[in-house]
Amino acid sequence: MGLKQREVKYDYLRTLAVFAIIMVHAIPAEAVNWKQRLFSAAMTPVLLAFVGIYFMLSGFFLLQSGTENIIDFYWKRFCAIFIPFACYCGIYYWYYNIYLSLDPIPWYEHVKEYFCALFTETIPMAPHLWFMYVIMALYLCAPFLARMFQAMTDRELKVFLGLILLVQGICTYLPALGFEVGPGLDYMVFKGWLIYFVLGYICKRLYPSVSYLLYAGLGAAGLAVTLYQKWVTPAFTPGIHDMALSMIAMAVSIFFFFERFGDIRVPVLIKAAGFISRYSYSVYLIHYLVLGQIVKEMAEKTFIRHYYIPRIFFETVLTFIISLAAAVFFDETLVKLLKRSAGAVINGGAGRKRRNEHGSGKQL
């Protein structure tokens, strides 16, 4: 797709999103003074809003166009999502269970343990991979959700949006206020991370002409509520991140900021964002290993370890650069090889089937 046709604002948003997630993990869990606590409290919710934006971007593209042949849809996502995911999980497994292991076991035992860890979400030292299990589950639903949403009228879609936000608000806040909602809402299908997955499509379709000041106000209010909970009512912080309505408001605000103002047509920026966006998925997968095992150790050996905020930015930028280089290397070698092998197996099987059918027709 050329520079004129490509919607570069989404490349910018995806690039910023992966950078934000790296920074979230670079912020230390402990703060030693009020300045550090203030920085962490203010930055963390904004950065975590990009987790929701990841889901919004995925759902936005799939729900407006994901109505092709379902088998083809699954095959494309298997190659684009599952194969790289399995490869990078293998890297984590190899590093922690083989390279660092002091208790060698036969290779076939490692194969068994690797696949067990892959399918039970127990890949060592990779807590960020929870995202992938959620996104793959949502991808399974995407072709059917696309058909459902595209068949709905705008009015029906508004009712649906109000319903899912209402249910999520009830599930998030009422139990914290001492009101038990009972098990009934546990069976509500449209809640949790699925809300973000459908939110990009719904907001873009229903509210494209609303003034951005409204979205900016929602985002600012969401951040203000979050900070109020952290500083004034620290004992009352139900769903303060992730699925809190305040977090949803921040994610929507950022999404629409890029929707309205992100179409910056500077060739250098377009090419850089497009390149990073292409590998952003793999950068996300590998960054936790790079940050924890390479960058943090490097930071500890320099003077910057004494400075809270400069160290966070140093670790974020260096992790981003190394992770991008690793993503390019692995995607263009191991991942590409496995994709081609999977394609050859499928195409070979389809070819044999056609030959057999052709032969059977001749005999008849």
Residue 272's pLDDT is: 96
CA distances from 64 to 143, 194, 254, 271 (A): 10, 16, 20, 25
Residue 32's pLDDT is: 87
Read out DSSP for 302-347? SGGGG-HHHHHHHHHHHHHHHHHHHHHHHIIIIIHHHHHHHHHHHH
Nearest to 15 by CA among 335, 321, 314: 321
Nearest to 114 by CA among 95, 132, 133: 95
CA distances from 69 to 75, 97, 106, 147, 240 (A): 10, 40, 42, 12, 39
CA distance 206 to 256: 13
Residue 355's pLDDT is: 57
Which are the contacts of 149, defined by CB distance < 8 A and separation ≥ 6?
Answer: 63, 157, 198, 201, 202
Residue 363's pLDDT is: 45
List per-block mean pLDDT (blocks of 10 residues) for the chain, which spans 364 residues: 65 96 94 90 94 94 82 92 97 95 88 95 95 95 92 94 90 81 75 91 88 93 92 77 91 94 92 96 97 96 94 98 98 95 78 56 46
Contact 286, 94 (CB under 8 A): no
Which are the contacts of 129, defined by CB distance < 8 A and separation ≥ 6?
Answer: 85, 89, 121, 123, 285
CA distance 344 to 171: 47
Contact 330, 282 (CB under 8 A): yes
Which are the contacts of 320, defined by CB distance < 8 A and separation ≥ 6?
Answer: 18, 19, 22, 283, 287
Which residues in 77-107 are b (16+ Cβ under 10 Å) and which e? bebebbbbbebbbbbbbebbbeeeeeeeeee
pTM (predicted TM-score): 0.90
CA distance 165 to 190: 9
